[in-house]
Structure 1
Amino acid sequence: MSDAHKVAAPDPDDFLEVDGSLSPEERDIRDTVREFSARELAPNVADWFDAGTIPDPRGLAKSFGDLGVFGMHLDGYGCAGASAVSYGLACRELEAVDSGLRSFVSVQGSLAMTAIHKFGSEEQKNTWLPRMAAGEVIGCFGLTEPDSGSDPGSMRTRARRDGADWVLDGTKMWITNGSVADVAVVWAATEEGVRGFLVPTDTPGFTANVIHKKLSLRASVTSELVLDGVRLPDSALLPGSNGLGSPLSCLTEARYGIVWGAAGAARACYRAALDYAGTREQFGRAISGFQLTQSKLADMLIDVNHAALTALQIGRLKDAGRCHHTHVSFGKLSCVAAAQRVASEARSIHGANGITLEYPVLRHMLNLETVATYEGTAEIHALSLGQAVTGVSAFR
């Protein structure tokens, strides 16, 4: 075979050429978010993680708004109307830096904005969505409670009618952006079933308390929301919300971003391990030349590319209108597990250096513990897939 017909060696960073199938527009979005992340986020994220917070969340929100990633998959109201794959690529590049930063974008766009876009009135959409897309207003999404996580139907937050108003009482827990939000989308049980409400955070009776001493997702603001006799006008109700399916559909949107985000975290850990193995010398040579290290890198390479392929295929199904919520469960379960395996192996390749914030691997490893838990634990998604293939529900 002549040299002209030799197949080029695979790219270690895209071994199966997953990104080779992207459209020019998708590549442009990928590159724009990747460059922004490298310039604005990566140099700071270790310090933010160390501090356990984002020092300037409003400034970051404005930067994300200028970048155009808030609600970028939604149509109209100042949103870009980008494809599902394009939004997924943005999530991948953000989480390649840190899960907390992707969570900031997911909660704003896939949870709070999506709830308003799907279930809000035209007045609510016009009031909130353009400012949220621009990063001028921060939103949060209140579904999980201290005693209601995997079983949101057991929520204790209640909304009762009082004349022309609604009065809300209850507590929400583990709410990203809660204490910096301007508006909270709060889900509450009513006599009519579960309904969604838009709660301006300066409403009397509303309190957001920052959760401290986290060991994961530290470059993020996480809060408890307390609603004590919060009185809202009837116009605060999301009129299209109807039952538990409404918030769960928003969670499916956010989980879709996690599928891509986990692929980004896996890629970042693999790349860090590959670089480190090539420069770390023991016994007179780089550890990348040792069989056990190469075995680890090979396993990581497979997980990284499997996750990337899974994310892209689910994205293509979504853009074609053929994505079932169990497809997203498949992606969340498989991609997060793959990322956890990669992060663990990457930490081992880094040795003692792997436990410091000088390298990203343990930070990703810790973050992925949260990613594996929130918006559906591994167990819940496994049961979702079990039900999909057997036709039998094991939930109740």
Structure 2
Amino acid sequence: MSTLISIIVLSLVTAGIFYLQLPRRRGAVIFALTWLLAGTAEDAFLHPVALIVLLAILAVVLHSGFRRMVLSKPARKALQKMMPPMSATEKEALDAGTTWWEKDLFSGKPDWNQFDAIELSSLTEREQAFVDGEVDELCAMLDEWDIHHHRKDMPEEVWQFIKDKGFLGLIIPEEYGGLHFSPYAQSRVVSKIASRSTVASVSVMVPNSLGPGELLVKYGTKEQCDYWLPRLARGEEIPCFGLTSPEAGSDAGAIPDRGVVCRGEYKGEETLGIRLSFSKRWITLAPVATVVGLAFKLYDPDSLLGEGEERGICCALVPADLPGMEIGRRHNPGAAFMNGPLTGKDVFIPMELLIGGQDYIGRGWQMLAECLGAGRGISLPALSTAAGEMSYLTVGAFARIRRQFGIEVGKFEGVQEATAEIAGGAYMLEAYRAFVTRGLADGAPSVMTAMAKYHATETMRRLVNHGMDVLGGRGIQLGPRNFMALVYQTIPIAITVEGANILTRSMMIFGQGAIRCHPYLADELLAFEGEGEEVEARFDELFSAHLGHTFSTFSRAALLGVSGGLLGKVEQGDSFSRRWLKQLDRYCAVFAATADIALVTLGGDLKRREMLSARLGDAHSQLVIACAIIKYRQQQPVSEAGDLHAEYALRQSFAAINEALAALYRNMPQRWMGRLLKLKFFPYGFPVAAPDDDLIRKLGNLIMVPNPVREALSEAVYISDDPEDATGRINVTYQRLLEVERHYNLFLEAEAKGVISGSNLDELAASAVEKKVLTAEQAQKVADYDRLRYECLLTDAFDRQLDKVDIRIARP
């Protein structure tokens, strides 16, 4: 028995050493003293063999030469065999972009003081004026049904307005005539337009995402910037960017398009340039573009640039009217924005059109990886946020207007399961947008923007699907009255572009996150290359630190687990925030320890075990999302409604982490390892449950009534007050209901009880006045509302050719 007690004490002391992250020498002394003290109770610890083991442990910890000989050198050789060699593209990706708070979370012990200091971005006076002025004016000009089903394009006056008012130059510096808005402001502009028209928002977002403008701002020569940026800002040039090819979509590094260095003629003079042939597909704005950004692989078979034939990926800016360019055809992506193929045959491009000039030859992949963040972190999440917020506002209103079996449909618990998720999801999307764009203001966090693209668009998919379920037939019948169907049709677009969601989740998020965010992994991978004393010493330093990190996170996760989280200390924020930050602190330790153990046990095979990698990515992503929710809630005015929305969104986030970790533990190749990790980290089960029925009912009711969250979300979108408009009709009807609801309920109750009678609405209203249920004024307002209500529930009818709208539905 004493042996068991001694082992337990020694194990707890060891865990405590790593939990407190004591310096190496101090920890070694405490460990040795504990071992020797254990020997006073159990002679086995003082046995010569046991003492040799103790000395060996101390030598590994304290003596670098011995450690390198028995541990790090064999480990390096084994890992070199396990880990696949890094490709040139992967090495370039390591140098591209930055990291932000997602790296702190990956460490397993984030600095909550640093988190507390984060201030979410807000609009400047100039940005707010643009959102309230030019953006609202543009939104009022848009009719998505007309654009989508009749014109197949935006009206010319809309295009001209977009050009004249600077919508194509949101990211271009002011000295070149652009607006130079912050990432948050760009997101707010795009999402407000998206709340009105997907076609218009895509047309605006593309020139401000990955494209010539951003590439020129970051990498262009002075001459290129001076010429092109003012023209782009004024809308004199419409840009597009050709990256994806028929056989190279998400695997952009495999683009087959080939350019060859040669001499040729440009503007009547012979010059050094590139002869390029290419075939691009799915390029937004390509049919109307006047200047095309192109990514291609460059070769120099005649060594005109010096030694070396393969020159890597390059980016060039090509006028659309160059000989050999074929442009103008359209794809049909299911929405009416301009999208089409680009092809070129033997197009001659002078070196001056290479973005950044010859200094940036071969750096195209790094340039693209850094610039993809705008599309992933700003534009697509902005579209998703708009869809979520409009679902909240319109479906919430509809659920209160539409009645079945004598009550609002939004009060049925089955419906509330859907509407509560819409409410919590919309709140999360707004929080996530604010958090991610704050990170983008500090750099280009490629991992976090990949998370944002995937989880924002998937959340949009889920919320819009719920909205369609609640609307029922009102949602599926197409026509100018339908406020949801065209958004529903665009879901496949959002989840496909800027990297297909399946690959983003299964390969990119954790694949990049493990390398970019882990404290040691990237440097270790680089240390696999080369030989010699210096390289081995560097690897030993990194590997021993990595082991210490793994033992530390494992100890923290295990001790926090066995204590039920009581050992966790988080003092930042109010009581609501502290409660959730303590859980986050614990889950961060669990995630970091789990990720490290998965990396050690699976090695390079983890890259191929995409389902396991995806689950680790899900857990990491949801940690970021939970932080976004907490931060957003902290910086909003405190309200009960806000807390309920945040509570629901946080529970959804932690439930997703629980699901990801449980599936990971179940499916680890060493099943015993998975069971052990779950037992160590969650001995009493997962500590955070999904939203319960009571919370679902509360949110299902909140989405139907005015509340601070509804007001905050309304500020980010465009809601028409035109009763003949798709969204305006439901908004006007909802606002009228709020005015007359008490009297309307009296009217309905009196009708149900037979107190009033009549064969139509007017007769019922007159009867209500006669029976003194309502005054004449109240009865008139109720009748006026009921006509609006009935009109609001109608769907469009057409002639037999589905061409002209022809309602003519008589009210019974």
Aligned 1:1-396 pairs, distance under 5 A = 22-23=122-123, 25=125, 26-32=127-133, 34-41=135-142, 44-51=143-150, 53-56=152-155, 59-75=157-173, 76-110=175-209, 111-163=211-263, 164-191=272-299, 192-214=311-333, 216=334, 218-238=335-355, 239=357, 240=360, 242-256=363-377, 257-319=379-441, 321=442, 323-355=444-476, 356-357=478-479, 358-382=481-505, 383-391=507-515
Work out the CA distance in 2 between the residues paired with 1:328 and 1:33: 28
CA distance in 1, matches of 2:374, 2:139: 26
Asked if 1 retains the 8 angstrom alpha-carbon contact of 2:281 and 2:340, the reply is yes
Looking at structure 1, the residues matched to 430 and 228 of structure 2 have their Cα atoms a distance apart, in angstroms, of 34
Greater displacement, 297-306 / 108-117: 108-117
- Conserved? CA contact 2:286–2:340, under 8 Å: yes
Shift of 1:258: 1.5
Deviations 1:177-212 (A, max 9, x none): 101010000111002111111111111111125334
Q: Structure 1 residues 113, 23: CA separation in 2 closer, same or farther (over 3 Å shift)?
A: closer
Q: Quick one: which amino acid aligns to residue 353 of structure 2? A: A
For the pair shown, which has the larger CA radius of gyration, 1 or 2? Answer: 2
SS of 1:47 mapped into structure 2: helix
User: Could you tell me the TM-score, scaled by structure 2's length?
Assistant: 0.44
User: What do the CA deviations read for 1:287-340 (whole angstroms, capped 9, x no partner)?
Assistant: 223222233211101001101101101111222x15511111111111111111
Separation of aligned partners in 2, 1:36 and 1:254: 25
Q: Say if 1:70 and 1:108, in contact at 8 Å, map to a contact too.
A: yes
Q: Give 1:24 deviation, angstroms.
A: 5.3
Tell which deviates more after alignment, 104-113 or 94-103.
94-103
SS in 2 for 1:80: coil
Output the amino acid matched with 1:31: D
Deviation readout 1:30-62 (Å, 9 max, x if unpaired) = 333551343122xx1122122473144x64343
Secondary structure of the 2:169 match is coil
Bigger shift: residues 131-140 or 45-54: 45-54
**C-alpha distance 144-104 of structure 1, shift in aligned 2 (>3 A):** same
Tell me the SS of whatever aligns to 1:197.
strand
Q: For residue 466 of structure 2, what is the amino acid of its counterpart? A: E
Question: In 1, distance between residues paired with 2:135 and 2:423?
Answer: 20
Following the alignment from structure 2 to structure 1, what is the Cα–Cα distance between the partners of residues 391 and 197?
Answer: 11
Task: Give 3-state SS (helix, strand or coil) of 2:347's partner.
Answer: strand
Letter in 1 for 2:291: V
Q: Bigger CA drift: 231-240 or 177-186?
A: 231-240
Normalised to the residue count of structure 1, the TM-score between the two structures is 0.87
Q: Which letter does structure 2 place at the counterpart of 1:65? A: K
Shift of the 66–51 alpha-carbon distance from structure 1 to 2, 3 Å rule, reads same
Letter in 1 for 2:452: G
Cα 1:195–1:308 change in 2 (3 A) is: same
Deviations 1:147-166 (A, max 9, x none): 10011111111111221231
CA contact (8 A) 1:270 1:343 kept: no
- Whether the 8 Å contact between 1:33 and 1:94 is mirrored in structure 2 is no
For residues 145 and 35 of structure 1, what CA distance do their matches in structure 2 show? Answer: 37
How many residues align structurally?
371
Contact preservation (8 Å) 2:141, 2:158? no
Contact 2:257 2:296 in 1 (8 A): yes
Q: Which runs of 5+ in 2 are unaligned?
A: 1-119, 264-271, 300-310, 516-598, 609-812
- Aligned-partner Cα distance in 2 for 1:364–1:113: 28
Instruction: Quote the offset at 1:28 in angstroms.
Output: 3.4
Alignment-mate amino acid for residue 254 of structure 1: G
Relative to 1, partners in 2 of residues 1:388 and 1:175: Cα closer, same or farther, differing over 3 Å?
Answer: closer
Change beyond 3 A, Cα 1:337–1:219: same
Unaligned runs of 5+ in 1: 1-19
SS, match of residue 141 in structure 1: strand
Counterparts in 2 of 1:156 and 1:46: CA distance versus 1, 3 Å = same
Corresponding letter in the other structure for 2:144: V
Post-superposition offset of 1:388: 4.5
C-alpha displacement of 1:176:
0.6
Question: Structure 1 37/345 Cα, relative in aligned 2: closer, same or farther at 3 Å?
Answer: farther
Q: Distance in 2 between matches of 1:52 and 1:371?
A: 22
Q: Deviations over 1:64-112 (max 9, x none)?
A: 2333332323323111222111111112112222333222122212222
Moved more, 350-359 or 306-315: 350-359
Opposite residue 389 of structure 2, the aligned amino acid is R
How many angstroms apart in 2 are the aligned matches of 1:296 and 1:37? 32
For 1:305, the aligned partner's letter is Y
Which letter maps to 1:184? V
Q: Note closer, same or farther for the CA distance 1:284–1:21 as it changes in structure 2 (3 Å cut).
A: farther
CA distance in 1 between partners of 2:374 and 2:344 (Å) = 26
Q: Normalized per residue, which structure has more strand?
A: 1
For 1:250 and 1:368, the matched residues in 2 are separated by 23
Sequence identity, in percent?
22
CA 1:183–1:268 in structure 2 vs 1: closer, same or farther (change >3 Å)? same
From the superposition, tell whether residues 135 and 243 of structure 1 become closer, same or farther in structure 2 (CA, over 3 Å). closer
**Aligned partners of 1:134, 1:395: CA distance in 2, in Å?**
45
In the alignment, the residues of structure 1 paired with residue 294 and residue 443 of structure 2 have an alpha-carbon distance, to the nearest angstrom, of 29
Moved more, 282-291 or 100-109: 282-291
2:607 and 2:233 mapped to 1: Cα distance?
Answer: 37
C-alpha separation in 2, matches of 1:367 and 1:324: 27
Q: Does structure 2 conserve the Cα–Cα contact (< 8 Å) formed by 1:73 and 1:82? A: yes
1:120 is aligned with what amino acid?
G
Deviation at 1:128, TM superposition (A): 1.7
Higher RCO (CA < 8 A, seq sep 6+):
1
Give 3-state SS (helix, strand or coil) of 2:237's partner: coil
Structure-2 separation of matches of 1:376 and 1:285: 44
